[in-house]
Structure 1
Amino acid sequence: MKRLLKILIAGLLALFLLAAAVLAWYLHGKRPQRDAELRLAGLSAAVGVRWDEAGVPHIEARSEADLYRALGYLHAQDRLFQMEMLRRLSRGELAEVLGPKLVDTDRLFRTLGIRAYADAYAAREFANADTPAKRALLAYLDGINQYQATRPAPLEFDLLGIPKRPFTPADTVSVAGYLAYSFAAAFRTEPALSELRDKLGADYLKIFDLAWHPDGVVRRDLRPGDWQDLGRLARLSQDALEAAGQPLFEGSNAWAVSGSRTASGRALLAGDPHIQFSVPAVWYEAHLKAPGFELYGHYQALNPMALLGHNQAFGWSLTMFQNDDLDLIAEKLNPANANEVWYQGRWVALQTREEQIAVKGAAPVRLALRRSPHGPIVNDALAGAAGRTPIAMWWAFAETENPVLQAFYELNRADTLDKARAAAAKVHAPGLNIVWANAAGDIGWWAAAKLPLRPAGVDPSFILDGASAESDKLGFAPFERNPQEENPARGYIVSANHQPAGSEPVPGYYNLWDRAERLDSVLRDPAIKWATANSKALQLDVESGYSRRILRPLLAALRQAARNDEDRLLIEELIAWNGRYTIEQRAPVLFQQLHYELARAAMADELGEAWFDNLRRTRALDHALPRLMADAASPWWDKRGTPQVETQAEIVAEAWARTIDHLRQSFGAEPKDWTWGRAHTLTHGHPLGQQAPLDKIFNVGPFAAPGSHEMPNNLAARLGPAPWTVVYGPSTRRIIDFAAPGQALGINPVGQSGVWGDPHYADQAERHVSGQYRQQYLDEADVAAHTRSRLQLRP
């Protein structure tokens, strides 16, 4: 019996070891090849690739076509699943591999018309590859497709049963549409502000700094079902993106300093675009070199043009312009014909197209999608819509020529102000701030976008009336009128998503000015000579004046709210707090929870929980809350449904009590345990890591995270109750001193590779959250010294 038992155990152990060996063999076959010689059809000559210790490829080719074909192949090695998911998200094809829960997301993106627009754009623009930019894209996509056709599918393809199919220019355009849409705060903000205005009235708008502008806004009453649909649309706009596990673009910092203000005497460039964290990270780094061209670039899936980059001569960074380039328009239906709307003095028929969504494990979903002269009817995205009013979406991305591929091809080579300005003028949508510097000492900034001209008096913060001429566009402003600066006398430029100064205000959903003010307050100090070290300190700065703006008007009410000695100690600690968010501090935890409780206590009763939830996802609330705290007489402080009129002091006391109760429930009875590093954490989420137990396998984190919302180290969580999960932040941090551009610094939030089990899957994550950097090798001597493996691609 004992002998039989031993045999059984030995057999089970052998099976376990065999299974482990098979699994290891299977996973090893999925990993990128970084030390080999491979064939790549279409090359005119061999391409050499050297990999550094961070997994960044340094690619050298004899022609641009070979360079971009190799880039596509290598990018696919590390990020093919990311490419596939972004393609499917933007084209409304996720349910085919993820099942019925993604139908709503697919329906939204089909309704937006990104797929139809991309197909038409690609068919028109790529009928002939008549420019170097187009040829570069086709070579890059060929490299991706050759990798996909010849190498094992990624692990996620096997788990989800994703079929392989070639990538096309239409896929690249579709992903560009998704990126543009993720910037479009109007989709989430205009319904919330319009509902607030029509339900509560002008007195409640004061804290949003929005006057009641009757021109161009919906004059007729929308019905309860229409408002229900608009609320669902606002939530779907956010939830759909999050459900797909793909990054949203949120903000950014960038600054350029002229040589008169730097220690080296040469220009310095710093930038950190703020994007939702994910696995893999949004940027793929690669150093490209061919005769007449060299660039260390940061690339996004399915795009061969670096959106961030530098070389020995110049470099640039991006921030989001945040201009309002999307209008929601309520159409007037013909009572006698539900397929017609009133447009420019006559009834016009809606266009209709049919599409079908394939659904894994379920029957296909058929869609009938409508379009008015203003744009697609976006409430067709809702299954079982309750309202009858068609809401159209006018969107600059779909209404302009938008040669963005050509724009970035030129920007990748723009070594003078004139070239950079000309490239920026070709970016029509989404709106971008391009911050640029060169080794010759020039610095520049251009707000790059086609800015729509609206009739006088029209406020696009609200839903517009499609039956009125005010909903139409009068054209676009010429690029020369866009906000921009070149070599300003003060010696520096800063861009942080704030509303740009200028004689012509540009409508938009700009971020709080506190972050820009914090950066500017340091940069404008003439005693500081800028270099790499103090630039790092500024990128990692965790101080903001926003908390002081919230708390300053409430000091007396807060002190009155204390119920016992412990409360009094905590309140005095909060009042004395310097507004810094370091992981060991307790005051940030007190403030963040109080901040949420104040907003909810003041506003949720007027708006209802659903609309309050919509509003707290918008930047409009960030701007409104300091004004609300400063106005003790605001009608927001009075609670609906009570006979008495509540005061600001009473609401503050209620919010403080709820703050302490919630923190005790969340982190224990001892306030010493309420530290920011415990309450505020960062986890990089993989699309498959949204449910247990796959979260433990694919996600990276959690890490205690310093910083917070709208400060230079913008590791931001949504306004809500503790604990707080960081949603977005620096998607890379870069610092380039043009006295030594080969010693530029950067960091990736997770790692270069999206292949689970690869050494570069998460090797930078802890360094990123703790504020460390690594060198981005550009000089030949550094590339050679840090080469860890070599790959040769041959024709």
Structure 2
Amino acid sequence: MPRRPRSTAVLAAVAAAASLLVVPPAAADPVPAPAPDHCREQCHHVLPPGQNGSATFAELVAHMLLGTRPPHSDDQLGRYDALAGGYRELTTATIEEFFLDNSFGVRPDDVERTYQPREDVTIVRDKTAGIPHIYGTTRSGTTFGAGYATAEDKLFLMDAMRRAGRGEVTPFAGGAPANRELEQRFFAASPYTEEELQQQIDAVASRGERGRQALEDAQSYVDGINAYIEQAHRGRYFPGEYVATGHVDPITNEGTIEPFELTDLVVLASLVGAQFGGGGGGEVQNAIARMSLHERFGPERGEQVWAAFRAEDDPEAISTIHDGRSFPYGVAPEHPEGVVLPDPGSVVEQQLVFDPTGSATEPADQSAQPESRNPRPATDDPVESLRGLFDDGLFPEGMGEPRGMSNALVVSGAHTESGHPVAVFGPQTGYFSPQLLTLQELQGPGISSKGASFAGLSFYTLLGRGQDYAWSATTASQDMIDTYAVELCEPDGSPATVESNAYLFRGECVPMQVVERENAWEPNLGDDTPAGSYRLAVFRTSYGPVTHRGTVDGKPVAFALARSTFLHEVDSIIGFQEFNDPAAITSPEAFQRAAHDINFTFNWFYVDADHTAYFNSGANVVRKPVVDPSMPIAADPAYEWQDWDPVDNTAAYAPFEEHPNSIDQDYYVNWNNKQAPGTAGDRAEKGAVQRGDLLDTRVRERIEHGGTFDRASLVQAMADAGVTDLRAERVLPDLLRLIDREPVTDPRTEELLTRLRAWLADGGRRVETEPGSHRYEHAEAIALMDAWWPLLVRGEFEPALGTPAYEALTDVMQVNESPSGWQNGEPGLHVGQGHQGSAFQFGWFGQVSKDVRAVLGEEVPGGFGAPLCGGGDPTACRQVLLDTLRQAAEVPLEETYPGDADCAAGDQWCADALVHSKIGGIAQDTVSWQNRPTYQQVVEFPAHRPR
């Protein structure tokens, strides 16, 4: 949209608003001495776009008019973006061109501001990135300062996220479809009452001294947040989004910014857990797909095809642990009992929305594209201009879907140039403005850390470094969620239907618990949506929330989701507390024990001057030996978790020794791939071809050839994998081998193959011709692959599987996840083209590889048995590849890259590019695609504390 001319009236209004601001004075206290730091300037990190996620009313209007941004809101984006084009020239001397120094303390010449929000805490902001370095003379002061500083940087984000976690976005920010989508998704995942939120706090506080300390730390943190809210509201330097959403008047200052409570932290923890720390839950979709295969092929052959597709414990899958040990967990028994398969066509999703009125009854127009994510003002009134910021919703579409991202590369000292371990690792939390994570340093009694935390949970550093060690995590997604099929009933004994809201539990017909939210919104509350309302209602059984209903052998049933962390969202606080305590983390073994205190499903990585370590955390329930966790389970005590107590949702859990764990393996890599042999993934992506292969190949081959790593070369390995197309490196060679069985006589087809071969020979990367060109090297080959893959998968599998089974399997896992979005079978059918960065995790990459290699006559462990492509005939399968390749060549770029609010149709580079989705008023520049963590550390400790 073209920028409107500046208006004298608007600028005058901005100046008037700015004159009302009362900025707190900077204190003149000396900068505290840095804590002991044994990294010796060899620790670095980066978190785009920037630390500051807050903008006043005046700053928001200036951004809309002039494109300016508040200080430190985008000053890490350039470093982050530069790595995609500059990693090949990276050296240890130039790391700070791409990463920030992550040393403790602030150099005297880098001090931007020093102040004391309370007498027992001093906060120092650095000039380089505006990161708060928090020094408490008391522990309470330290966590109070963390709350105060985080609110300074991310208050509106924290406020919006606590509303989302409670399912109450629309009353806060209006009824735009994206707001409704998000509140529904999060409320359905964690439908808690306020009493249950408080119960979780009380439960943690009862867990001994560490539990008591955690409660005190959290309360001081909340006190710090609320101190900032009060001061910022009084001083009129609160986030301008409160004006945009109608909560505060910019002239009179009347309105409310609601204070935080401890229960808000539970909500935020449940939101993070649902987004990044769960595994399992797709059992109903699995059952439908499995039944479709049985109907197509019969039970025996159908089961063979299902097992190969599911890749539950694929012998070809790479594992983070590769030392010969096995860690069995979540694998289906040979002869399972209690499996429930719904009647074909009977399954429907549980209704969530009730009693819609007004705009709540109007379906969202999914085909309409907004003019821009970053609208310019359409009026000379700055307040009215800000009202339009959230016309399309406070949150981006698709936010809240479970994510499995992040990566880690850790090399032991036996294979580094210095003899000390080296690590490059971090979480992938998506690209938002402001970023969901926040950076900080915490120094106080019992706390010494620096790194990243989720805004609103930053009373401890969640991912970062201590005095002589560092740690990080990736999403693990082992299966700790089961689906139980409960038989429906009527309390009065009348016949049950699928609409019945009572169920049989241990022989008694009991009513479901209904947890509700009454949501209403008014016009002009941050958007132009007409007034509307609806009621959200989640039906809960003793096992968990109902997700689907249907029939089994004609009897009505409900499918309820049993999650081991349900009612235990904050239990992990103990492990994070230990990570931050230098007295607790004195060895890799101590770190592993602390990680075991975290109940979310994460892969944890540790490095110090001498050792490396890995531990897979999670509340891994002990199941009965006859249970298949990948299928719906009969609601019967014989199939419930061992020692399960439905009152507080506790059970028997796998002991420490049964969790995948390792110390000082030659190297560790993880990109959400398989943890260890014997450990089943929750979905079908951890198979023969997975994006972790890109990391494993680059590290393993160098070590096998006697090479060593330093920080620069390990970053290069990560970055090279992060711009490589997995399909090109790992699947295209097999496709070409099949095609090359015979000469290609058609010149046009040979030309297409020549493009693909040249791209493959050059590394199969998606990189610009030069930084800033916005055009890819091998652009035509990349476009060809993007158009070919969905056609290829459909052509290879649908004729053999049949359309019903093929489509059921695509509901289990989409066929593709290219950087520009994913397509389920037709060119241009992009669902969720969200510029999310993370790519190539989900897709039929291993399934295609196994089938094509079988067609070539190879022995394929864990394969489909008889090949599916072309009926197993190499000539026929080869023809499928060639026909779909030629079809792909005819697909217009405008269909392969259909465009969206940020990109014109056909713009290949932009379709891939990283766009920071706004959860506020400040937009960010679009940057080149990289498949890498959002927050990333580069670590090499040359020394450690005396031990």
Verify same fold: TM over 0.5: yes
**Which one of 670, 673, 676 corresponds to residue 495 of structure 1?**
670
Measure how far apart 1:284 and its partner are: 1.1
The CA distance in 1 between the partners of 2:911 and 2:546, in whole Å, is 42
What is the identity percentage for the equivalent residue pairs of Structure 1 and Structure 2?
20
Measure how far apart 1:657 and its partner are: 2.7
Measure how far apart 1:55 and its partner are: 1.6
Partner of 1:432: 602
Q: Is the 8 A contact 1:316 1:434 kept in 2?
A: yes
Residues 1:588 and 2:582 aligned together: no
Residues 1:15 and 2:27 aligned together: no
The CA distance in 1 between the partners of 2:890 and 2:574, in whole Å, is 56
The CA distance in 2 between the partners of 1:527 and 1:462, in whole Å, is 45
Partner of 1:682: 914
**Which one of 257, 261, 269 corresponds to residue 176 of structure 1?**
269
Q: Look up the equivalent residue of 2:144 and give its one-letter code.
A: R
**Which one of 65, 76, 88 corresponds to residue 151 of structure 2?**
76
Residues 1:200 and 2:432 aligned together: no
**Which one of 491, 499, 503 corresponds to residue 341 of structure 1?**
503
Q: Is the 8 A contact 1:245 1:685 kept in 2?
A: no
Q: Is the 8 A contact 1:350 1:371 kept in 2?
A: no
The CA distance in 2 between the partners of 1:371 and 1:356, in whole Å, is 14
Measure how far apart 1:178 and its partner are: 1.6
Measure how far apart 1:416 and its partner are: 2.0
Residues 1:572 and 2:754 aligned together: yes
The CA distance in 2 between the partners of 1:486 and 1:575, in whole Å, is 41
**Which one of 189, 202, 219 corresponds to residue 138 of structure 1?**
219
Measure how far apart 1:614 and its partner are: 5.9
Q: Look up the equivalent residue of 2:189 and give its one-letter code.
A: L
Q: Aligned to 1:375, what secondary structure does the other structure show?
A: coil
Residues 1:465 and 2:542 aligned together: no
Q: Is the 8 A contact 1:247 1:276 kept in 2?
A: no
Residues 1:50 and 2:119 aligned together: no
Q: Is the 8 A contact 1:589 1:676 kept in 2?
A: yes
Q: Aligned to 1:705, what secondary structure does the other structure show?
A: coil
The CA distance in 1 between the partners of 2:907 and 2:466, in whole Å, is 42
Q: Look up the equivalent residue of 1:98 and give its one-letter code.
A: G
Contiguous gaps of at least 5 residues in structure 1: 1-11, 640-644, 689-696, 707-714, 716-728, 743-795
Residues 1:288 and 2:442 aligned together: yes
Residues 1:159 and 2:318 aligned together: no
Per the alignment, do residues 249 and 23 of structure 1 end up closer, same or farther by CA in structure 2, a change over 3 Å counting?
Answer: farther
**Which one of 426, 432, 436 corresponds to residue 278 of structure 1?**
432
Q: Aligned to 2:707, what secondary structure does the other structure show?
A: coil
Measure how far apart 1:225 and its partner are: 4.2
Q: Look up the equivalent residue of 2:765 and give its one-letter code.
A: Y
Q: Is the 8 A contact 2:461 2:580 kept in 1?
A: yes
Per the alignment, do residues 595 and 396 of structure 1 end up closer, same or farther by CA in structure 2, a change over 3 Å counting?
Answer: same
The CA distance in 2 between the partners of 1:447 and 1:297, in whole Å, is 21
Q: Aligned to 1:662, what secondary structure does the other structure show?
A: coil
Partner of 1:262: 416
Measure how far apart 1:449 and its partner are: 1.6
More helix by share: 1
Measure how far apart 1:580 and its partner are: 2.9
- Larger deviation: 463-472 or 569-578? 463-472
Q: Is the 8 A contact 2:113 2:125 kept in 1?
A: no
**Which one of 356, 375, 380 corresponds to residue 544 of structure 2?**
375
Q: Aligned to 1:47, what secondary structure does the other structure show?
A: strand
Contiguous gaps of at least 5 residues in structure 2: 1-5, 20-55, 61-69, 73-110, 248-255, 295-301, 313-331, 354-363, 365-392, 523-530, 644-651, 768-776, 818-840, 856-864, 898-904
The CA distance in 2 between the partners of 1:569 and 1:518, in whole Å, is 30
Q: Is the 8 A contact 1:184 1:325 kept in 2?
A: no
Residues 1:92 and 2:290 aligned together: no
Partner of 2:343: 222
User: TM-score if structure 2 supplies the norm length?
Assistant: 0.64
The CA distance in 1 between the partners of 2:419 and 2:765, in whole Å, is 33
- Larger deviation: 551-560 or 679-688? 551-560
Partner of 1:483: 660
Residues 1:655 and 2:884 aligned together: yes
Q: Is the 8 A contact 1:270 1:317 kept in 2?
A: no
Q: Aligned to 2:682, what secondary structure does the other structure show?
A: coil
Q: Look up the equivalent residue of 2:604 and give its one-letter code.
A: I
The CA distance in 1 between the partners of 2:505 and 2:224, in whole Å, is 47
Q: Look up the equivalent residue of 2:853 and give its one-letter code.
A: A
Task: Give the length in aligned residue pairs.
Answer: 676
- Map 1:696-715 → 2, pairs under 5 A: 698-706=922-930, 715=931
Q: Aligned to 2:622, what secondary structure does the other structure show?
A: coil
**Which one of 555, 559, 576 corresponds to residue 736 of structure 2?**
555
Deviations 1:605-635 (A, max 9, x none): 3357687366317837444332343354968
- Larger deviation: 398-407 or 314-323? 398-407
The CA distance in 1 between the partners of 2:9 and 2:548, in whole Å, is 56
Partner of 2:773: none
The CA distance in 1 between the partners of 2:192 and 2:114, in whole Å, is 38
**Which one of 489, 495, 512 corresponds to residue 351 of structure 1?**
512
Measure how far apart 1:674 and its partner are: 9.4
User: TM-score if structure 1 supplies the norm length?
Assistant: 0.75
Q: Is the 8 A contact 2:854 2:867 kept in 1?
A: no
Q: Look up the equivalent residue of 2:926 and give its one-letter code.
A: P
Residues 1:121 and 2:200 aligned together: yes
Per the alignment, do residues 220 and 683 of structure 1 end up closer, same or farther by CA in structure 2, a change over 3 Å counting?
Answer: closer
The CA distance in 2 between the partners of 1:39 and 1:293, in whole Å, is 19
Per the alignment, do residues 613 and 172 of structure 1 end up closer, same or farther by CA in structure 2, a change over 3 Å counting?
Answer: same
Q: Look up the equivalent residue of 1:289 and give its one-letter code.
A: Q
The CA distance in 1 between the partners of 2:426 and 2:220, in whole Å, is 29
Q: Look up the equivalent residue of 1:296 and give its one-letter code.
A: K
Q: Aligned to 1:250, what secondary structure does the other structure show?
A: coil
The CA distance in 2 between the partners of 1:63 and 1:355, in whole Å, is 41
Q: Aligned to 2:765, what secondary structure does the other structure show?
A: coil
Partner of 2:188: 111
Q: Look up the equivalent residue of 1:370 and give its one-letter code.
A: F
Deviations 1:586-611 (A, max 9, x none): 33333233222222444563357687
Per the alignment, do residues 75 and 148 of structure 1 end up closer, same or farther by CA in structure 2, a change over 3 Å counting?
Answer: same
Q: Is the 8 A contact 2:545 2:561 kept in 1?
A: yes
Q: Aligned to 1:453, what secondary structure does the other structure show?
A: coil
Measure how far apart 1:676 and its partner are: 6.6
Per the alignment, do residues 348 and 624 of structure 1 end up closer, same or farther by CA in structure 2, a change over 3 Å counting?
Answer: farther
Per the alignment, do residues 634 and 184 of structure 1 end up closer, same or farther by CA in structure 2, a change over 3 Å counting?
Answer: farther
The CA distance in 1 between the partners of 2:461 and 2:222, in whole Å, is 15
The CA distance in 2 between the partners of 1:14 and 1:448, in whole Å, is 58
Q: Is the 8 A contact 2:447 2:580 kept in 1?
A: no
Q: Look up the equivalent residue of 1:396 and give its one-letter code.
A: S
Q: Is the 8 A contact 2:480 2:563 kept in 1?
A: yes
Q: Look up the equivalent residue of 2:708 and give its one-letter code.
A: K
Measure how far apart 1:190 and its partner are: 3.0
Q: Is the 8 A contact 1:271 1:734 kept in 2?
A: yes
**Which one of 322, 328, 334 corresponds to residue 477 of structure 2?**
322
Partner of 2:937: 734
Partner of 2:80: none
Deviations 1:65-93 (A, max 9, x none): 21221121111111112211221121111
Q: Is the 8 A contact 1:261 1:526 kept in 2?
A: no
Q: Is the 8 A contact 2:578 2:594 kept in 1?
A: yes
Q: Is the 8 A contact 1:231 1:610 kept in 2?
A: no
Per the alignment, do residues 187 and 410 of structure 1 end up closer, same or farther by CA in structure 2, a change over 3 Å counting?
Answer: closer
Q: Aligned to 1:534, what secondary structure does the other structure show?
A: helix
The CA distance in 2 between the partners of 1:602 and 1:242, in whole Å, is 35
Residues 1:391 and 2:559 aligned together: yes
**Which one of 407, 412, 423 corresponds to residue 594 of structure 2?**
423
Q: Is the 8 A contact 1:434 1:447 kept in 2?
A: yes
Aligned CA RMSD, in angstroms, stands at 4.1
